[in-house]
A and B are shown apart, each in its own frame.
Chain A
């Protein structure tokens, strides 16, 4: 592969005694969609802020398009579009004005920005809301506006921190669709998320983070292949019985995970395993056979679930 756009080695960030990012290495290549998957507090946002040249690392090296964010902050930020976790739209301005002035902050000429604003209103499906005040927009619209705003400078790298947290399923799908289009146009995407379905949908390659460290790296498919079985059988026996039957279940498959509300059994063939469970005279209240997901990978790596 060619030289990476972003390259980090031993990247570390401490806040006092607390280590938010603990010596991580990663490379991001042009045109790929790269994800940071992990629960809240894993260090994903901190890593993003260091890449975005708005936070200074404690140690290690990072190069973004061959530059050091500590020295070339403004030049690096000129390449980036940033969608923060918490919307920070300008509440005193309208939708159009938000896009326009953001382009001006990059020093872009008025004429260029005005033309760009029209294009972005269409992209974000906000043409009908063009003169609305930001506070009157729905959560999904605000998010789309924030993404459109991040695109006003035509960035090579778009960074999205938890892009769909707090959105309803429909708004999430609209947003994913917009992000796919950007990917098709060759924009490099950097995404943090604690939703495994989002990571599977959007990321070509991702790192799984927990407590500031990288637990695993790869494409969603290879991670699932390497760290989990093909299928998962989810059984609920009722919270008081789950533990009692666990020992018996453990001998029936490669691996099980006991969660407070259910037992997960990892196997190559879920239906066949379920038949054996019934044959052993165990009668779960509910059962579900599904494909393995990144959630299972995370559980295997950390013993915990992504959303706690």
Chain B
């Protein structure tokens, strides 16, 4: 039966690297989630909620409102979209770096997968797909927390959920591409060294206009600042062409990341 299934795909586009098995990979993610990885997923959801409680409540006492784009909003409403964007990033990065690194080099799970009639693009899309499902669930769950608190000012805020998925997709593609080049567990620390400052300085807790011009310029190049601007713009209902620009930034990340991931996986497994 396995042979008939594989033969049916003969002659289709990309048949050497892709066998249409993304759903099977997602099924694996779900089974693993049920039996072992659920703790990681739950902690990923709690993280932004804890930040919101701590900073939104604590700093919100000292600084009840903040002026953004000529509008005065609650401080908690200012940071909530940033936390949403950051949790989308963190979930995607965890799935595509740590998780992928271990499956690739330690447990060698991908070697097993690629001994079947699947191809490397199935594996890449399946893993990234799982990261997206997580990003989507986090975004929905966080919305359920912040919307009743009145922290989503505009109805456009609903679009923050697909935006979070787009952000997760961009980070997951690039994260997996970077991980596929890494040789040792220690090198993964580089990823954390980049993520933390990016989180702290990308305008999560205050507008980046407090920085000098040159630093603002640097921050504006970082993916997380685009993610935060995109989600914040939607949640506050500040709709303009700039948002499309932010979205485009992530489309480019997705394309570049997928290209290098597939290329690299092919080289790793077909050497």
**Residues in chain A within 8 A of chain B (CB atoms):** 15, 52, 54-56, 71-75, 77-80, 82, 84, 86, 88-94, 97, 100-102, 104-108, 112, 133, 149, 153-155
CA distance A98 to B107 in the complex (A): 13
Residue-by-residue, is B253-271 near A (CB-CB < 8 Å gives 1, otherwise 0)? 0000000000000000111
CA distance A108 to B270 in the complex (A): 24
Given contacts A71-B16, A93-B35, A104-B24, contact A56 B271 (CB under 8 A): yes
Candidates B36, B111, B117, B269; contact of A75 at CB < 8 Å: B117
Complex interface: chain B residues within 8 A of A54 (CB): 111, 114-115, 269-270
Cβ–Cβ contact A55 & B270, under 8 A: yes
CA distance A100 to B34 in the complex (A): 15
In the complex, residue of chain A having the shortest beta-carbon distance to the beta carbon of B27: A104
CA distance A58 to B149 in the complex (A): 64
Complex interface: chain A residues within 8 A of B3 (CB): 75, 78-79
Considering only residues 1-28 of chain B, those with a C-beta below 8 Å from chain A are 1-3, 5-7, 9-10, 15-16, 19-21, 24, 27-28
Cβ–Cβ contact A105 & B108, under 8 A: no
Complex interface: chain A residues within 8 A of B20 (CB): 107
Complex interface: chain A residues within 8 A of B270 (CB): 54-56
Q: Taking the nearest CB of chain B, how far is it from the CB of A94, in angstroms? A: 7
Q: Taking the nearest CB of chain A, how far is it from the CB of B269, in angstroms? A: 6
B50 contacts the other chain (CB 8 A): no
Cβ–Cβ contact A93 & B16, under 8 A: no
Question: Can you list 20 pairs linking A and B with CB atoms under 8 Å apart?
Answer: A54-B114, A55-B271, A74-B9, A74-B118, A75-B7, A77-B115, A78-B5, A78-B6, A82-B115, A88-B112, A90-B107, A92-B32, A97-B31, A101-B31, A104-B27, A106-B116, A106-B117, A107-B20, A108-B1, A108-B5
CA distance A233 to B176 in the complex (A): 59
Cβ–Cβ contact B2 & A88, under 8 A: no
Given contacts A55-B271, A104-B24, contact A77 B10 (CB under 8 A): no
Q: Taking the nearest CB of chain B, how far is it from the CB of A156, in angstroms? A: 8
Complex interface: chain B residues within 8 A of A88 (CB): 107-109, 111-112
Q: Taking the nearest CB of chain A, how far is it from the CB of B1, in angstroms? A: 6
Complex interface: chain B residues within 8 A of A71 (CB): 16
Complex interface: chain B residues within 8 A of A79 (CB): 2-3
B233 contacts the other chain (CB 8 A): no
Cβ–Cβ contact B7 & A78, under 8 A: yes
B91 contacts the other chain (CB 8 A): no
B37 contacts the other chain (CB 8 A): yes
Cβ–Cβ contact A74 & B31, under 8 A: no
Complex interface: chain A residues within 8 A of B36 (CB): 92-93, 133
Q: Taking the nearest CB of chain B, how far is it from the CB of A136, in angstroms? A: 13
Complex interface: chain A residues within 8 A of B119 (CB): 73-74
User: 10 smallest A-B Cβ distances: which pairs?
Assistant: A78-B6, A153-B2, A88-B108, A82-B115, A78-B117, A105-B116, A107-B5, A106-B2, A92-B32, A88-B112
B53 contacts the other chain (CB 8 A): no
Cβ–Cβ contact B15 & A74, under 8 A: yes
Complex interface: chain B residues within 8 A of A55 (CB): 270-271
CA distance A191 to B35 in the complex (A): 34
Known: A54-B269, A107-B19; 4 extra A-B contacts, CB below 8 A, are: A52-B115, A54-B115, A74-B19, A75-B7
Given contacts A84-B115, A106-B116, contact A75 B2 (CB under 8 A): no
Q: Taking the nearest CB of chain B, how far is it from the CB of A147, in angstroms? A: 13
CA distance A15 to B267 in the complex (A): 13
CA distance A71 to B117 in the complex (A): 13
Considering only residues 43-101 of chain B, those with a C-beta below 8 Å from chain A are none
Cβ–Cβ contact B112 & A75, under 8 A: no
Cβ–Cβ contact B117 & A74, under 8 A: yes
B113 contacts the other chain (CB 8 A): yes
Complex interface: chain B residues within 8 A of A112 (CB): 1
Complex interface: chain A residues within 8 A of B24 (CB): 101, 104-105, 107
In the complex, residue of chain B having the shortest beta-carbon distance to the beta carbon of A156: B3
Complex interface: chain A residues within 8 A of B5 (CB): 78, 106-108
CA distance A101 to B113 in the complex (A): 10
Q: Taking the nearest CB of chain B, how far is it from the CB of A44, in angstroms? A: 17
Q: Taking the nearest CB of chain B, how far is it from the CB of A30, in angstroms? A: 15
In the complex, residue of chain A having the shortest beta-carbon distance to the beta carbon of B119: A74
Q: Taking the nearest CB of chain A, how far is it from the CB of B35, in angstroms? A: 7
Considering only residues 96-143 of chain B, those with a C-beta below 8 Å from chain A are 107-109, 111-119
Complex interface: chain B residues within 8 A of A94 (CB): 35
CA distance A79 to B6 in the complex (A): 9
In the complex, residue of chain B having the shortest beta-carbon distance to the beta carbon of A71: B16
Cβ–Cβ contact B113 & A105, under 8 A: yes
Q: Which of A56, A82, A90 has the most CB of B within 10 A?
A: A90
Complex interface: chain B residues within 8 A of A105 (CB): 21, 24, 113, 116-118
Complex interface: chain B residues within 8 A of A72 (CB): 10
Cβ–Cβ contact A77 & B111, under 8 A: no
Given contacts A75-B6, A75-B117, A78-B117, contact A102 B112 (CB under 8 A): yes
In the complex, residue of chain A having the shortest beta-carbon distance to the beta carbon of B33: A92
